[in-house]
Structure 1
Amino acid sequence: MSETAPATQEALFQFLDDLGIAHSTKRHAPVFTVAESVSLRDEIPGGHTKNLFVKDKKDQFFLLTVEENAVVDLKTVHTLIGAASKVSFGKPEKLMEYLGVIPGSVTAFGAINDRGLNVTFVLDETLMENEIINCHPLSNDATTSIRREDLLRFLEATGHRPLVLKVTA
C-alpha cells in the first residue's frame, strides 16, 4: 500500500496547469448526492457527473463516470467494461487507497492518486457529448469545469487509458 498522502486540490490544479489545461472551480457547500447538487446547475454550465466505484470478483476496480441523471445497469455493465464478473460497489477503504477520496467526493480527478494504475476509468459516451465536464476536485465542496478533451488528456497524463463507452441506459 502506498504511503504517499493523497493529492490536495492545489496539487491537482498545479498538475492541470503544468499540462496547460484550462479549468475553473466554483466553491460551494458540500454536496453528497446528485439531488443536493441540482441547485448549482444554473451557476455551472456543462455536463455534471455521477461516479460509480465498482469492482469485479477478481478485484479489478473501475470508476464509471456518467451524466448525473443517467442510469447504469449494474447487472449487465460488466459485459461492456471488460470486468470478469458482475460488479459490486468498491469499499470506502479501497476508494481512499486508490483514488484518495471518500464517498461523496468520488471523481475522475482521483486518477491523480492512482499511481499503481489499479483503476480502469470509464467515461460514458453520452456524458462526453458535453463540451464541458464538471467533476469534484477531490472533495465535494467544489466543482471543477474542464473541457472533455482535456479530461481525457488529464487521465492519460496520469498513466490511465480511459475507455469511452456507452454504459448508460
Structure 2
Amino acid sequence: MITQEEKKVYGVLAELNIPYTRYEHPPVYTIEEMKSLNLPDSMCKNLFVRNQKGDKHYLVILEHTKKADLRKLAEQIGSGKLSFASEKRLQKYLGLKPGSVSPFGLINDSEKEVEVVIDKDLADSGEVSFHPNVNTATVTISYGDFEEYLKWCKNSITYVRI
C-alpha cells in the first residue's frame, strides 16, 4: 500500500520527469537490515545531524558502505561539534520518522533550513537508492536525476570527502 508520504515523493518525481524503480519490503531501520533484503547496491546512508548550538541542521548523504566521522565532517563543513538530531527535530525539519531518513524529506523543508552534505564519491554512482519517506519501500533513481531533484529542492548543498 502506498502511503500519503510516498505519494508526495512520486508526485515530485513525476513533475520533474524522473523515472524510478520502487521496491516494496518489510520495515527496515538500518543499513544492515537493508542488506538482508537483496536490494540494489546503490543504497545510500542518510544521517540527520545538528551543530552543538542546535541552530543548524544537516542531512549527510553517503554510500552505504562508508562510515562518517562526525568530527572530520564538522571540520570540512566549517561547523562546530556535530551530533545526531533528535526524533523531534527530524519530524520538525524533514517531516520524517526514525528509520525513514531520506533526501526526499527535503520536500517537507519549506523554509530550506536543512543543509545537504553529499559525499563526492556518490557522483561516481550510476544510481542512488533512498526510502520514499517511509521505511517500507526503496526508490532507485539515476545520480544525474538525483542532482536535478536537489536543484528543485533549493536547499544549500556542500560536497565533502568521507
> TM-score, structure 2 length as denominator?
0.91
2-side partners of 1:49 and 1:91: how far apart? 21
Distance change >3 Å, CA 94–CA 153, structure 1 → 2: same
The gaps in structure 1 that reach 5 residues or longer are 1-6
2-side partners of 1:120 and 1:67: how far apart? 18
Higher helix share: 2
Does 2:127 correspond to 1:132?
A: yes
1-side partners of 2:76 and 2:129: how far apart? 24
Does 2:29 correspond to 1:16?
A: no
Deviations 1:12-69, CA, capped at 9 Å, x for gaps = 101110111111111000111111110233xx33421111111112420001011112
2-side partners of 1:76 and 1:11: how far apart? 35
| Aligned residue type for 2:71 | K
1-side partners of 2:127 and 2:41: how far apart? 5
Aligned with 1:112 (options 107, 113, 119): 107
Does 2:50 correspond to 1:55?
A: yes
| Aligned residue type for 1:78 | A
Count of matched residue pairs: 158
| Aligned residue type for 1:120 | E
Deviations 1:46-101, CA, capped at 9 Å, x for gaps = 42111111111242000101111201111221111232x01011111110111111
Root-mean-square deviation (Å): 1.4
Match of 2:26 in 1: 29
2-side partners of 1:57 and 1:8: how far apart? 30
2-side partners of 1:26 and 1:117: how far apart? 29
Residues 15-94 of structure 1 aligned to structure 2 (within 5 Å): 15-41=12-38, 44-58=39-53, 59-83=55-79, 85-94=80-89
> TM-score, structure 1 length as denominator?
0.88
2-side partners of 1:162 and 1:28: how far apart? 30
Between stretches 122-131 and 12-21, larger displacement belongs to: 122-131
Q: Give every structure 1 segment of 4 or more consecutive aligned residues whose post-TM-superposition deviation is greater than 3 Å.
A: none
2-side partners of 1:74 and 1:82: how far apart? 12
The gaps in structure 2 that reach 5 residues or longer are none
2-side partners of 1:65 and 1:80: how far apart? 14
Between stretches 91-100 and 74-83, larger displacement belongs to: 74-83
Alignment check: 8 A CA contact 1:46 1:131 kept: no
Residue 135 of structure 2 aligns to a residue whose secondary structure is: coil
Residue 62 of structure 1 aligns to a residue whose secondary structure is: strand
| Aligned residue type for 2:99 | G
1-side partners of 2:101 and 2:123: how far apart? 18
2-side partners of 1:30 and 1:82: how far apart? 35
Q: Report the CA distance between 1:126 and its aligned residue.
A: 1.8
Between stretches 90-99 and 73-82, larger displacement belongs to: 73-82
